[in-house]
A and B are shown apart, each in its own frame.
Chain A
Amino acid sequence: MNRHRSEARTVHAFATSAAAGLALTVSLLAGPVRAEEPSDPYMGGRAVYTKWCAPCHDPGVIHPGTNALTVKYKGVKPGVLLEWKDLRPETVKFLVRHGISVMPQFRKTEISDADLDALANFLSRNTPH
């Protein structure tokens, strides 16, 4: 078991340093989220993502949502939600309000409709309209 643990640590180190998620991970741990650039058009949505989605969906095997999507889509799509290029705003809104698998739905006291609009826009920013 001890040997297993040291292997797992290597995986963590890789997962943490490998991807663009590092900045988000750090900012989450450091406190409520602020976007890096004041001119960031997705500032609000990014903040909602970081508060509510990142703990499960940031890059790396330590994030259960990312792990689940990696296995579900078997390389057809990335496991990392931030890298999706075909996520539609309506899909984001539906899943946040209905949940899926072990992810619960989120109430309006947690993610308001305005926050959800911003989140949906942010997560679909790479999706061609």
Chain B
Amino acid sequence: MRLPVGVSSTDFASAVAEFGQAVGKHWVFTRDEDVDLYRDAFSPFLHEAEELVASAAVAPASTEEVQQIVRIANRYKVPLYPISTGKNLGYGGSAPAYSGSVVVDLKRMNRVIEVDEPNAFALVEPGVSYFDLYHHIQERKLKVWIDCPDPGWGSVIGNALDRGGGYTTANYRNHFDSHCGMEVVLPNGELLRTGMGAIPNAKTWQQYKSGCGPWIDGIFSQSNFGIVTKMGFWLMPEPEAYLRGTVSLSRYSDLAPMVETLNYLENARITSGFPDIASPLNGYPAIGQLQLWNETGPPNQTQEHLKLLSTAKLGYSPELEAYGMKSGIPYWQLWLSFHGPAEVIEAQWQAAQRHFAKLEGAKFHVIDRVKLPIDPAKADAYHEPELGVPSLRAFSIGARSPWNPTPSKGHMWFSPIVPRTGEAIIEANRVFSEAARELDMPLFRSFSMPACFWERCFIFILATPVTEDPATNKRYREGFKKLIAIGGQHGWGEYRTAPVFQKSVMEVYSFNDRVLQRFHETLKDAIDPNGIMSPGRYAIWPKHLREKHS
């Protein structure tokens, strides 16, 4: 049996036995072959001793069982690491941030407690995946949409707590922002409800977010201050129709005014679907097209085009621009989507075109006009999440295909937030491509485009492969940390990262002698004095481990 550091084998055996009494013996896992199932499938420490691994796992089926587990852990000072579905594979999966922790696997807590159609909200447990919630809604023919990230098997709660994003409209794409009300088992085993849920017999837990007094929901995301056992989410009423169109521009210098126009249109809610920016001339797809590219191959490029791309700097040369104009390949292509009544979204599309028409030579094209709901069996003609339909097609990223004959062992996402300007896209490419070249990292090699999951900012989401070769993985890990630090020097930071990089990322958030991290530590000491809850998650270490790990 593996042991957490500092816990005696007698204490650990007692804790395991008591976990068994709480949840049933067969839901406590201690044999190596069972505990290994909690390894990070995409660990960049593949075949290395430093890989983060659990000592055991325990799988409760109810909030009461979670409370018992937490109380037992306090009694024996056993570190816990809750996971919901453990499927955020590019961000650490189901492995703990501190080796030797006992994983609290919440997958069995899989009840959709409520979906309220007239008020458009859901209340779920952490084991509920996007597939589960989608099927629950479909079976009952409820006219509400979920907003899901690309792989649909993730947890609705887990993704929100990791502050993930999706693809429908701006009000719902930020999964943490679209939550309303939490139930949390605190590190001492007490049960807390946030927002209006703090009122006994609350009537508006999922309808008003902040309750009264300090709004503390944020501290339970990307943290280690409790185990969220229920969470409410606002859902989008099923739209009547969907329209998707492209705006194509032919000059490199169109990038900045294109972004500025997009920002106005999105912030004014003239467009609210997922804005998706491609550079066809640079061979960079819209995110919504990525799975098609992986499945059926990227568009063919002529020898002349490839040669011009190989000599372009930051995605530009006058010759490349001239080639694009001659061949009719847009430099930039913005995919806009609209959800709502047909007459409303047609008018929004018209208004969007009027604004973009100020850019010389802008071309417009309608890709889809869809009456909703669509037949779910036909959703695969689209990038499913943009229509609120979960899928696993995103695993074409990295999987073997005719265009990727040598699949990776996984990937780690490098995902810095940068300003929503054309200048920032170019600046980030300049900074990161120079750094990546020096570090020999397969990132930002040619011109990369950011995504618009959230309003007001851009995010680059680029995959660094995990390989079979430890030396290569080591180089990528070290390079990854350097890229994080270089981003920080430019005022950019990651939105989320795997446990192995959380220390490096939080070091970037160091304003005023790292007061933010010190504040996290003050909270940690107050809320979790025994330091049993997810030690090290987002670099928040309990007192007894702080010196060693900071």
Contacts and interface: CB of A to CB of B under 8 A. Distances in A.
Interface of A: 1-5, 7-9, 11-13, 16, 22, 25-26, 29-32, 51, 55-56, 60-65, 67-68, 71-72, 97, 99, 101-110
B449 to A, nearest CB: 13
Contacts of A72: 400
Given A5-B292, A64-B399, A105-B37, A30 B138 contact: yes
B203 to A, nearest CB: 31
Nearest to B401: A67
B93 interface: yes
B280 A1 contact: yes
B395 interface: yes
B520 interface: no
A68 B295 contact: no
Contact of A107 (B38, B376, B392, B405): B38
A71 B400 contact: yes
Given A8-B292, A101-B407, A109-B59, A1 B381 contact: no
B296 A11 contact: yes
Interface of chain A, helix or strand or loop or mixed?
helix
B292 A4 contact: yes
Given A64-B399, A71-B405, A108-B29, A56 B376 contact: no
Contacts of A109: 27, 59, 105, 107-108, 127
A64 B151 CA distance: 12
B359 to A, nearest CB: 19
Nearest to A96: B37
Contacts of B395: 56, 64-65, 102-103
Contacts of A22: 377
A30 B134 CA distance: 9
The listed residue with most A CB atoms (<10 A of its CB), out of B39, B285, B296, is: B296
B393 interface: yes
B401 A1 contact: no
Contacts of B285: 1
A102 B289 CA distance: 20
Interface of chain B, helix or strand or loop or mixed?
mixed
B396 A2 contact: no
B399 A65 contact: yes
A68 B399 contact: yes
Interface string B86-126: 11010001100000000001011000000000000000000
A26 B377 contact: yes
Contacts of A64: 294-295, 392-393, 395-396, 399, 401
A61 B407 contact: no
B135 interface: yes
A51 B381 CA distance: 21
A104 B246 contact: no
B68 interface: no
B52 to A, nearest CB: 15
A55 B367 contact: no
A1 B287 CA distance: 13
B383 to A, nearest CB: 10
A62 B407 contact: no
Nearest to A110: B107
Interface in B30-60: 33-34, 36-39, 41-42, 57, 59
B533 interface: no
A62 B295 contact: yes
The listed residue with most B CB atoms (<10 A of its CB), out of A12, A32, A62, A72, is: A62
B93 A32 contact: no
B402 interface: yes
B210 interface: no
The listed residue with most B CB atoms (<10 A of its CB), out of A16, A29, A32, is: A29
Contacts of B127: 109
A62 B400 contact: no
A29 B105 CA distance: 26
A60 B415 CA distance: 31
Contact of B380 (A62, A68, A104, A107): A62
Contacts of B401: 64, 67-68, 71
Closest 6 CB pairs of A and B: A104-B41, A68-B400, A55-B392, A29-B376, A109-B107, A64-B395
A71 B543 CA distance: 52
Contact of B393 (A25, A29, A62): A62
Contact of B93 (A55, A103, A104): A104
A62 B294 CA distance: 9
A124 B510 CA distance: 56
A61 B105 contact: no
A65 B392 CA distance: 10
A12 B398 CA distance: 20
A3 B286 CA distance: 14
A11 B295 contact: yes
Given A2-B246, A12-B380, A68-B400, 18 more contacts: A1-B333, A2-B367, A3-B299, A4-B289, A4-B298, A8-B296, A9-B381, A26-B377, A29-B379, A31-B139, A61-B295, A61-B296, A64-B294, A64-B396, A102-B409, A105-B36, A105-B37, A109-B107
14 contacts: A4-B289, A12-B380, A29-B376, A51-B131, A56-B392, A65-B399, A67-B295, A67-B400, A68-B399, A101-B409, A103-B395, A104-B42, A108-B37, A109-B107
Contacts of B235: none
A1 B87 CA distance: 32
